[in-house]
Amino acid sequence: MSRRGGVSIRSAGVIGFWIIALATVAACGEVRAATTKQRSLAALVLRRSEAPGGTRYMPQMSGPGALARQGASSRTIAELERFGFRSDYARQFYGTNPHAGIRGITSSVAEFRNPDGASKALHFLRNILREQHPEVGPVPVAGLGEEAWGYGGRFFREAPPTFTAFYYAWRSRDLVLSVAIAGSKRVVTQRTARLLADKVANRTRGAGGR
């Protein structure tokens, strides 16, 4: 596993999809052809043109089925399926200057059979985040979406003092959406992270939730 500045590049990039996958990221796989439903989900995540400067798109870690591709255990997926998990889509970006700029960005969406299942999955993910990363603190989420939550700080103990990350997640009907960004404190701020999250949230707000 490649490391720069004391932080796993692969772990930092994955932070946004599901926190549960951080420690067990799988090897990159081939991107499958998207179905109609997956293409619809693709319209709800951060576009390549919306990524900040100093980043590059990572197609091999993006697309449909990213949850499994990025290393979530079969037990975790089974738990999400118990909540009605149906499909997912993500776009991931890595920084071109991870020492002094952005290290990674991930925007994801997961579809569940109904809003109740999506709500349970969102709470499940939050509990795991709090358990695995007790050192991070909550950040404001007013106006982001239903049952929204967000955390910021040093998600990785091996990270240098100059490193920070922000993770936002919320629900829109039967969807769970998340956006995360990690990197240098000089560039990665709460405002930067929230602007990216709002770009994604505006998609579902404009569509009345879907």
pLDDT per residue as tens digits for the range 178-195 = 999 999 999 999 999 999
What's domain 3-206's architecture?
3-Layer(aba) Sandwich (3.40)
Q: Is the pTM of this model over 0.85?
A: no
Domain extent listing, the chain: 3-206
Give 73's Cβ-side CA count (13 Å radius). Answer: 8
Please, are residues 133 and 164 in contact by the beta-carbon 8 Å criterion?
no
Q: pLDDT category, 113, cuts 50, 70, 90?
A: very high
Residues in the chain: 210
Q: pLDDT category, 70, cuts 50, 70, 90?
A: low
C-alpha 16/C-alpha 22 separation (Å) is 9
Query: Which helix (H) or strand (E) segment is 102 a member of?
Result: strand 102-112
Name every residue whose Cβ is closer than 8 Å to that of residue 133 and which is 6 or more positions away in sequence. Answer: 19, 151, 153, 155
